[in-house]
Structure 1
Amino acid sequence: MTQEPMAHPQIFDHDALRQCRTRRKSDAMFLHDMARDEVEDRLSMVKRTFTKPAIVAPFAEPWENVLPGQKIVLDNDVLALEPQAHDVIIHVMALHWANDPVGQLIQCRRALQEDGLLLLVTLGGQTLHELRTSLAEAETYISGGLSPRVAPMGEIRDLGALLQRAGFALPVADVVPLSVQYRDLPHLMQDLRAMGETNAMTNRLRKPTRRAVFDLANHIYGQNFATEDGKLNATFELVCLTGWSPADTQPQPLRPGSAKMRLADALKVPETKVPDRDQ
């Protein structure tokens, strides 16, 4: 008897997400510009010329002409990538909206040639933590409960582990933090709307929020996260991941016990004995 594959939880409503993205404005795409700078900087440090690149992104415009001969595909659940067709795949500003992030990475690995590079940039767990805290406190006080408002985003350790789960070799993860100042809460929310990054969670509140919630959230935000000149500080965190599709030519870890020299001898220092804690 054939079992049906398990469906992944639909945390995000992708129809709503597509609608949110139609509201974006080019002058609010600074996170994509920053991500592009990080991608180009990291590519410049790789001693290899890539000839079959692909870019997975929610918008094509910020990623035009990053690499010669590149193919740009949308971040749909099923990526328009052919098996073993690319020597580098750049996945940018999209994984934080994926209902199946591991599935996205596995699709990328399968589309890479042997020893191909995945370079991924996504929003990390500290992104908008000030907004999340302020809205939660305000809504709890005014309405007596909580509704999903700021999308959950992965911490760097968890995101790095996803690379290994998806079968990538030599995984590396690092964070690029960014602080942005806004006049008030409406200014921040206007910018998020212009980025196409507003609430598209499946369990989001489907009726208008009381104005009192936003007024109180604005006050709480200012009390806890204002700069010295009274502006609201908003954190954005770009997590950068790199991994390679497995190949026999890549460095391999040694088997335990296979070392031919003691560490103390290699470092040319006297060996220190650890005291017995039972004595």
Structure 2
Amino acid sequence: MQTPPLMTDRPALLRNRARADADALFLHGEVLAEVEERLVEVNRAFTDVAVVTGFPGLWARPGAVVLPDDEVLDLRPQGHDLVIHALALHWANDPVGQLVQCRRALRPDGLFLGFLFGGQTLAELRACLAQAEAEVTGGLSPRVLPMGEIRDLGALLQRAGFALPVADSFTKTVTYRDALALMRDLRAMGEGNALMARLRRPTRRGVLLRAVELYAEHHAGADGRIRATFEIICLTGWAPDESQQKPLRPGSAAQRLADALGTDELRLPVRGGDG
């Protein structure tokens, strides 16, 4: 079987992260607050926590094991009751493999929380860069990481063997002076272009200037500042366990739906093959 081409250039990604500025990592702070809120709702004490992240300093917590998002995760099988994949899964060359490894690291009825950028992230920047490059050079090159849609990402949880899978999202809109300021901030976040198929030469000045113009024309507010959208998807799943709630078998209901609704049941006529 042919191995699919790698999407992410891991050495480039690690270089980008090493140059990141802690003051620009505010989206990790948003995700951390979201994790804490969701764990309060779960109302369970977790004692063996693992966090997978590209920024260990931000996620270090007493008693938690913090490890990098390598292709092979350094997780002990059934060694944890909570695994958090913290805003790094969008860079995985094998996201299903990452999820499977996290599920195997959980004890029965252990919880997985995964956060990653979703398909609406940087939609404005992607559109402006694509139009600018097409106008100036007549072609297109990979510049922004392709990110999954929420429905597809939720299906990955099922493929990885999680029970009770749920995918939901929230959106953060951030404003900048102009598109160049946004691009600088992305580099400071460690989220610069690390695609394997990226151009290995600097972007032409004309492309950047045209993208700045298009962004200001289509995505600026009344104050002249441009808007940038970040969609953050949360994947929630549980390691299977016999104690978990299971769907009822078809035909096992104790009460007819019509009785519950207080209506009459309509029986459709049986039609034969001739109609």
**TM-score using structure 2 length:** 0.95
> Which residue does the alignment assign to 1:27?
23
For the pair 1:57 / 2:35, whether they are aligned, the reply is no
- Contact 1:8–1:99 (CA<8 Å) still a contact in 2? no
2:34 is aligned, of 23, 32, 38, to 38
For the pair 1:182 / 2:179, whether they are aligned, the reply is no
> Which residue does the alignment assign to 2:124?
130
- Contact 1:8–1:100 (CA<8 Å) still a contact in 2? no
Provide the C-alpha distance between the structure 1 equivalents of 2:268 and 2:57, rounded to a whole number of angstroms.
62
Q: CA deviation at 1:22?
A: 1.2
Percent identity of the aligned residues?
Answer: 56
2:266 is aligned, of 255, 260, 273, to 273
2:194 is aligned, of 194, 200, 206, to 200
> Which residue does the alignment assign to 1:114?
108
> Which residue does the alignment assign to 1:7?
3
> Which residue does the alignment assign to 1:47?
43
For the pair 1:159 / 2:144, whether they are aligned, the reply is no
For the pair 1:147 / 2:141, whether they are aligned, the reply is yes
- Which AA in structure 1 matches 2:264? E
For the pair 1:70 / 2:49, whether they are aligned, the reply is no
3-state SS, counterpart of residue 223 of structure 2? coil
> Which residue does the alignment assign to 1:213?
207
Provide the C-alpha distance between the structure 1 equivalents of 2:33 and 2:156, rounded to a whole number of angstroms.
24
Aligned residues: 271
Q: Deviations over 1:154-210 (max 9, x none)?
A: 111111111001000001111110100010111001100110000000000111211
3-state SS, counterpart of residue 172 of structure 2? strand
- Cα 1:224/1:57, change in 2 over 3 Å: same
Q: CA deviation at 1:6?
A: 5.3
1:224 is aligned, of 207, 218, 221, to 218
**RMSD value, Cα:** 1.6
**TM-score using structure 1 length:** 0.94
> Which residue does the alignment assign to 1:98?
92
> Which residue does the alignment assign to 2:14?
18
Q: CA deviation at 1:59?
A: 0.7
Q: CA deviation at 1:272?
A: 5.8
Provide the C-alpha distance between the structure 1 equivalents of 2:52 and 2:202, rounded to a whole number of angstroms.
34
- Cα 1:154/1:206, change in 2 over 3 Å: same
Provide the C-alpha distance between the structure 1 equivalents of 2:249 and 2:159, rounded to a whole number of angstroms.
21
Structure 2 residue runs without a partner (length 5+): none
Provide the C-alpha distance between the structure 2 equivalents of 1:273 and 1:150, rounded to a whole number of angstroms.
54
Q: CA deviation at 1:229?
A: 1.2
